[in-house]
Amino acid sequence: MGYILNFLLIAIIVLWVIRLLVRMIFPAVIRNAFGNMQNQAQQQQQRSNRPEGTISIDYMPQKDKKKGNADKLGDFVDYEEVK
């Protein structure tokens, strides 16, 4: 009987300590996450302060030099829809 009471007492104390830690740490973590999101949004807003109508291209893929001739691509067969 004494082991059960000791277990319950220790479990209650551990859960109470975890609860207190979560109450202190969780708001700080959430505040930090929202602060980071605000900083990212401000940086993005500063980058996009361009006059209306301007275009910027961030990435252009390289053109392939191996585009084949249409004769080498195969035979072309006309398609007719049959009803």
Cα separation, 19 vs 45, in Å, equals: 39
Sign of CA dihedral 57, 61, 65, 68: negative
Cα separation, 63 vs 66, in Å, equals: 9
pLDDT tens figures, 23-79: 999 999 999 999 999 999 888 877 767 777 777 778 888 876 665 565 566 677 788
Which residues does 50 contact at the CB level (< 8 Å), separation at least 6? 56
pTM of the complete model:
0.42
Q: Given this model, what pLDDT does residue 58 score?
A: 80
